[in-house]
Chains A and B, each alone.
Chain A
Amino acid sequence: MAPTGPRSGDAIFASVERVNAELFTLTYGATVRQLLTDLEEVEEVNKQLDQMGYNIGIRLIDEFLAKSNVSRCVDFKETADVIAKVGFKMFLGINATVTNWDADGTCCNIILEDNPLVDFVELPDTCQGLYYCNILSGVIRGALEMVSMKTEVTWLRDMLRGDDAYELQVKLLKQVPEEYPYKDDE
């Protein structure tokens, strides 16, 4: 029997086991709060969130590929579309759009329409430099690295800091082709 095609984000979101949104938001909030207490420096917390996201991303990619059945993306444009339409929808139920492609097709922005991580959250004055959702940038970076793409993901707009939307910039640094891992002399 021929293999089935890719599934849409909505279909998968409906079929996976979900957890209560508030539980998720509050757990994430508690994690960030604890990191702030442990590390004290806002920059350190940003880095740690990114690293945590990276560790999640390298595992998440397999779950994503298994559940969504997408085949290898032909270029970065397709990759970004798949992340926005299928990835965000499937794991967080977020509708996201891709905008602002640059001339080479290596850099784009992803705008998140809503963001369950930041419900009930307000940043105090002492934490103004904090990228609260930095875990998401780590997740994208980690996941893309496992499919041979080195990327840099940064936050352009963050509602907790006073902007009007959540916008991420994903920049493809380079595609790493697969190499034969064994040395030839063995």
Chain B
Amino acid sequence: MQFFGGSEISPSPPTLTVSGNNAHMMYVFNRNGVCLLYREWNRPLHTLNAQQDHKLMFGLLFSLKSLTAKMDPTSAERGNLGVPQLPGQGCSFHSFRTNTYKLSFMESPSGIKIILITHPKTGDLRESLKHIYNLYVEYVMKNPLYTPGTPIRSDLFNTTLDQYVRSIA
């Protein structure tokens, strides 16, 4: 069942790092829905298998983005719900919070989506997500051995990421 054409379907299985980390999980998707990275630090409950989990997460964010843009009360013209969005029409949402977790989201114009799930008292993580995007550029994009569009398998990136996430208050 291949939906997105990559040869590797899911990223390498998550390894549990040192506990005491504030973040629960992190996902990185590209514009085609391929999950480039999934890191898990603190996730007691697993409900779905990895594939479905990624698909669900991507679908959720795609729909949320579309919905938030279409429901924007400040803008005059919007297409109807369901019409694909042209670039430049977005109004971007950046987080949602429930009573048990907070999900922070950042999407670059090139389609790279970074999602960080943390405990609910976390503040605004937009700057942190930008920093993570910078890390992605440095360790992944600039790596000549990495093929864009495939899951990231870089230990250096994982270590730096873990260190950085641990330092987010």
Mark A residues whose CB is within 8 Å of B: 1, 3-4, 58-59, 61-63, 65-67, 69-75, 146-149, 175, 177-183, 186
Is B130's CB within 8 Å of the partner chain A?
Answer: yes
| B156 CB to nearest A CB, Å | 17
Interface of A is mostly: loop
Query: Is there an interface contact between A66 and B137, defined as CB atoms closer than 8 Å?
Result: yes
Q: Which residues of B are found within 8 Å of A178, using beta-carbon distances?
A: 31, 62, 84-85, 87, 111
* Interfacial chain A residues near B133, Cβ < 8 Å: 62, 65-66
Bound together, the chains give a CA A1 to CA B3 distance in angstroms of: 39
CB of B110 within 8 A of CB of A65, answer yes
- Asked if B20 lies at the interface with its beta carbon under 8 angstroms from chain A, I say no
The answer to whether the Cβ of B33 comes within 8 Å of any Cβ in the partner chain is: yes
Q: How far apart sit A148 and B88, CA to CA, in the bound complex (Å)?
A: 10
Identify whether the interface residues of B are mostly helix, strand, loop, or mixed: loop
If the complex has contacts A74-B88, A147-B109, are A66 and B33 also in contact, measured as CB distance less than 8 A? Answer: no
User: Which residues of the partner chain B approach A149 to less than 8 Å between Cβ atoms?
Assistant: 87
B residues at A contact (CB < 8 Å): 1, 3-4, 31-33, 55, 58-59, 62, 84-88, 90, 108-112, 124, 126-127, 130, 133-134, 136-137, 141-142, 148
Could you tell me if A62 and B110 are in contact, using CB atoms closer than 8 angstroms? yes
**CB neighbours of B62 from chain A (8 A):** 178, 180
Task: Report the bound CA distance from A66 to B127 in whole Å.
Answer: 11
Residues of B within 8 A of A72 (CB): 87-88, 90, 109
What's the nearest-Cβ distance from chain A to residue B109, in Å? 5
A101–B112 Cα gap in the complex (Å)?
31
Residues of B within 8 Å of A67, CB to CB, are 134, 137
Which residue among B4, B84, B85, B110 has the maximum number of chain A CB atoms within 10 Å of its CB? B110
Known: A73-B88, A181-B32. Is A1-B124 also a contact (CB below 8 A)? yes
9 residue pairs from A and B, CB less than 8 Å apart: A3-B126, A59-B141, A66-B136, A67-B137, A69-B130, A70-B109, A72-B109, A177-B86, A182-B33
B88 to chain A: which residues have CB within 8 Å?
Answer: 72-75
B3 in contact with A62 (CB, 8 Å): no
Q: Which residues of B contact A65 (CB under 8 A)?
A: 108-110, 133
Q: Are A62 and B55 in contact (CB under 8 A)?
A: no
Are B137 and A62 interface neighbours, CB within 8 A?
yes
A180 to B55: give the CA distance in the assembly, Å.
11
* Inter-chain contact B109/A58, CB cutoff 8 Å: no
Q: What are the residues of chain B within 8 A of A66 when measuring CB–CB?
A: 108, 130, 133-134, 136-137
| Interface contact A182-B84, CB-CB below 8 Å | no
Q: Across the interface, do B3 and A186 meet the contact criterion of CB distance under 8 Å?
A: yes
Residue of A66, A146, A149, A182 with most partner-chain B CB within 10 A? A66
Interface pair A3/B84, CB less than 8 Å apart = no
Contact B148 A58 (CB under 8 A): yes
Q: Contact at B110–A177, with CB atoms within 8 Å?
A: no
